[in-house]
Homo-oligomer: A and B are copies of this chain.
Amino acid sequence: MPELRRDPIVGRWVIISTERGKRPSDFGPTQTAKKSGFCPFCPGNEEKTPPEVYSIRSDGGRPDTPGWDVRVVSNKFPALQIEGELLRKAEGIYDKMNGIGAHEVIIETTEHDDDLADLPVAQVARVIRACRERITDLSKDKRFRYIQIFKNHGEAAGASLEHSHMQLIATPIVPRRTVELLNGFLQHFQLKERCILCDIVDQERTAARRVVAENEDFICFEPFAARFPFETWVMPKKHQASFEEMRDDQILSFSALLCETLQRINVTLNRPPFNFVLHTSPLNEWKEEHHFHWYVEIMPKLTKVAGFEWGTGFYINPTPPEEAAEHLRAAGAFLPNAGRNGVGAEAPGDLLREV
């Protein structure tokens, strides 16, 4: 059973995965992902993963057999464990609890070599729908307070398997970064009775300098205080607290803008490794009162986080977000699939039906 431990000074929780128990010799001098010819996420290898917890199968078919479009399975090496009780305990002045949670993998495509950005918008929309369904389902488990969806693309971003996938981790505590965001939203609301991210969207649309692209429902821009070069946010233009509140038509327009954004990043930065994280409302009793506005943060891995950043939480960004936005806007002319699959265009009706 992994253990959750709380830092006694700043209150940060960490997951100590005792069962992985890495020894000094497990950390090589260079950490290259082992690439074997075998991929557990490819169709036909369904029995090599834990059983599927959800799938989208437009042509039908039984679970754990080929024929799926998107497949969600438990992580074979989960950071947290689904069975058991929380059991909060003290160890002298320290606090700990059992590492309870869920850790799932969302396999985005049957094609081993396709990246998320290369998929047709309708397929990206299926992936996003699968995320929505998993959040909705897992939020019924009252032990969980937050669900984090994220993607590590490329070795430098921490991906250990090539085949394009996202991950989901449900945690029994609201993570520290989410608490900071919640406090920020709440503070602004108490002062202004408005959502701070709605205010930000307004200011960005007026200033226009940092906006990369938008469609009817969603906007993509470079944040004013970007920590990383080409850090990019995608969010609903109208207030929406939780990702899982998205309607089917919103899923389609979100997928179109997300796909377009990733393509712009690929064109501009030559397919960089990146991390993608979803920030959304916590679950259950935490949900109502905090005026959260969900958004997705895309962080291309172009620079290394070093001692100063670790020590201070202060980031040095060598590319002003205004310049990054200019490059990403200019990339519009070179999008590989512009017009072909709905990117940059209004979502056509047949795509909507297909989702």
Using CB atoms and an 8 Å cutoff, list the residues of chain A in contact with chain B: 3, 5-18, 20-24, 27, 29, 31, 79, 91-94, 146, 148, 150-152, 156-159, 167, 169, 171, 175-178, 180-181, 183-185, 188, 196-197, 199-200, 203, 207, 223-227, 229-230, 268-270, 272, 275-279, 297, 299, 302-308, 310-321, 323, 327
A92: B residues at CB distance < 8 A: 203, 207
B307 touches A27 (CB 8 A): no
A278: B residues at CB distance < 8 A: 311
Closest to A278 in B: B311
Can you report 21 A-B residue pairs in the complex whose CB atoms are below 8 A from each other?
A9-B184, A9-B185, A9-B188, A10-B177, A14-B315, A15-B314, A15-B316, A16-B321, A22-B318, A23-B327, A24-B327, A92-B203, A148-B308, A148-B311, A157-B307, A159-B306, A171-B312, A171-B314, A175-B311, A175-B313, A277-B307
A171: B residues at CB distance < 8 A: 312, 314
A23 to B155, CA, bound (A): 23
A5: B residues at CB distance < 8 A: 224-225
Number of copies: 2
A148 touches B207 (CB 8 A): no
A148 to B305, CA, bound (A): 15
Closest to A300 in B: B27
A76 to chain B, nearest CB (A): 15
A15 to B317, CA, bound (A): 6
A310: B residues at CB distance < 8 A: 150, 275, 277, 297, 299
Q: Is the interface of A mostly helix, strand, loop or mixed?
A: mixed
A14 touches B316 (CB 8 A): yes
A6 touches B176 (CB 8 A): no
- With contacts A9-B197, A171-B314, A181-B10 taken as known, whether A157 is within 8 angstroms of B17 at the C-beta atoms is no
A203 to B16, CA, bound (A): 20
Closest 5 CB pairs of A and B: A158-B306, A150-B307, A277-B311, A175-B312, A9-B184
Closest to A19 in B: B318
A226 to B14, CA, bound (A): 7
A175 to B11, CA, bound (A): 17
Closest to A17 in B: B318
Which has the most chain B C-beta neighbours within 10 Å: A146, A157, A203, A311?
A311
B158 touches A317 (CB 8 A): no
Closest to A146 in B: B312
B316 touches A94 (CB 8 A): no
Closest to A173 in B: B314
A224 to B27, CA, bound (A): 21
B311 touches A279 (CB 8 A): yes
Closest to A15 in B: B316
